[in-house]
Amino acid sequence: MGDALRRTVRNILVAAAVLTTPCVAMAEYPERPVRIVVGLTAGSGADLIARLVAEKLSVSLGQPVTVENRPGAGTNLATHFAATQPADGYTIFVATVANAINASLYKRLQFDALRDFAPVILAGSASNVLIVKPSLQAKSVKELIDLAKAQPGKITIGSSGTGTSSQMAGELFRRRAGVDIVHVPYKGGPEAATALIDGQIDTLFAIVSTALPQIESGKVRALAVTSKRRSALLPNVPTLHEAGLADFEAVTWFGFAVRSSTPKDVINKLNREVGKVLAVPDVQQKLAQQGIDIGGGTPEQFGAYMKDEFAKWGAVVKETGMTAD
């Protein structure tokens, strides 16, 4: 066999060996610590979910997962920060109903929450409850609507501030019920609740878990919850849908998202791992104690839900002419 032929045979054998040798797998995500960015303060529902998930993910992912609170500007500071991070899955953002509201409420945002983020999973949602002062002559939603129609512009409804979920629930109620009620904004939920207890306002939408002590003590009366299903914390209180406002839903939801263009395998892995965390009994128990219903599902399902929420609250903002700029 000549030298040229031997070289040719050797090259063929080397090439064959390369083709049949298993490829060395790329390092699997994650290779380093992961952070979860929350646009609300410690102790909020979004923060609670983030910390419960972070603790479990640190174990399942084999890397530290930390929570970074960046409150301010109605969650816009955190959203803008997360929207500027690399699309690699190492910065996870807790998207909330505030993003759906703010998209229309603020006219000069430096980000587009639907465009700049890829949905991972819906983590959970907390219902609001429609509460009234005990002296108000309305013991049901129907009686409240009848009273408001009989006295247009006389019934007042408080909120925890302009553009908050409590105001938006009130605006949606006004639209669906066809009533003329007067919005009275306060600096926060506690201030609005105090005003209701003191009789300064007639009614209010509040998070179920925060309103529960006042409801149980008789300081306020609960008429209906805003979720599609009854709240486990208030099983005897009907939903607004049951009370006659078909398909009414106004909940505070929380979900996980990453930058758009994040690799699909990273998104799918996060979806699986967070889904496993949400199925852990002690996680479910802690969330249930705060009146938070467990989410779940696929990234596509969360994406569709987000689009519906952005459209719903965008329509409410447009009709009311609200703006925060």
Q: Examine residue 131 and state whether it is found in any structural domain, yes or no.
A: yes
What are 20-79's pLDDT values in tens digits?
Answer: 434 333 469 999 999 999 999 998 899 999 999 999 999 999 999 999 999 999 899 999
Residue 204's CATH number: 3.40.190.10
What residue numbers bound the domain in which 171 lies?
127-225
- What is the radius of gyration, based on Cα positions, of the chain? 25
- Among residues 225, 260, 279, the one where a domain terminates is 225
Q: Examine residue 28 and state whether it is found in any structural domain, yes or no.
A: no
What's the rounded Cα separation, in Å, for the pair 34 and 182? 45
Q: Tell how strand 203-207 and strand 91-96 pair up.
A: unpaired
Place of tokens 């306020």: 220
Burial per residue of 35-74, b for 16 or more beta-carbon CB atoms within 10 angstroms, e otherwise? bbbbbbeeebbbbbbbbbbbebbeeebeeebebebbbeeb
| 104 backbone dihedrals φ, ψ, rounded to 5° | -105, -25
Q: Examine residue 25 and state whether it is found in any structural domain, yes or no.
A: no
121 burial via Cβ count (<10 Å: 0-12, 13-18, 19+): buried
Residue 252 per-residue DSSP state: E
- Mean pLDDT for 124-130 is 96
What's the rounded Cα separation, in Å, for the pair 81 and 110? 10
- Mean pLDDT for 83-92 is 97
Residues 213 and 142 in one domain: yes
Residues 133 and 119 in one domain: no
pLDDT at 16: 46
Among 236, 206, 214, which Cα is nearest to 129's?
A: 206
Residues 132 and 219 in one domain: yes
> Please, are residues 134 and 219 in contact by the beta-carbon 8 Å criterion?
yes
Q: Examine residue 14 and state whether it is found in any structural domain, yes or no.
A: no
- Among residues 190, 225, 260, the one where a domain terminates is 225
Examine residue 190 and say whether the peptide bond preceding it is cis (omega within 30 degrees of 0): no
Q: Examine residue 278 and state whether it is found in any structural domain, yes or no.
A: yes
- Quote the pTM value: 0.86
| Tally of domains in the chain | 2
Q: Examine residue 3 and state whether it is found in any structural domain, yes or no.
A: no
Q: Examine residue 77 and state whether it is found in any structural domain, yes or no.
A: yes
pLDDT at 13: 44
- Confidence at 5, pLDDT banded by 50, 70, 90: very low
Helix/strand number for the chain, H first, E second: 12, 10
- Confidence at 242, pLDDT banded by 50, 70, 90: very high
Residues 69 and 136 in one domain: no
Is 190 in a helix, a strand, or coil?
A: helix
Residues 116 and 64 in one domain: yes
Q: Examine residue 85 and state whether it is found in any structural domain, yes or no.
A: yes
Residue 119's CATH number: 3.40.190.150
The DSSP annotation for 223-249 comes to: EEESSSS--TTSTTSPBTTTTT-TT--
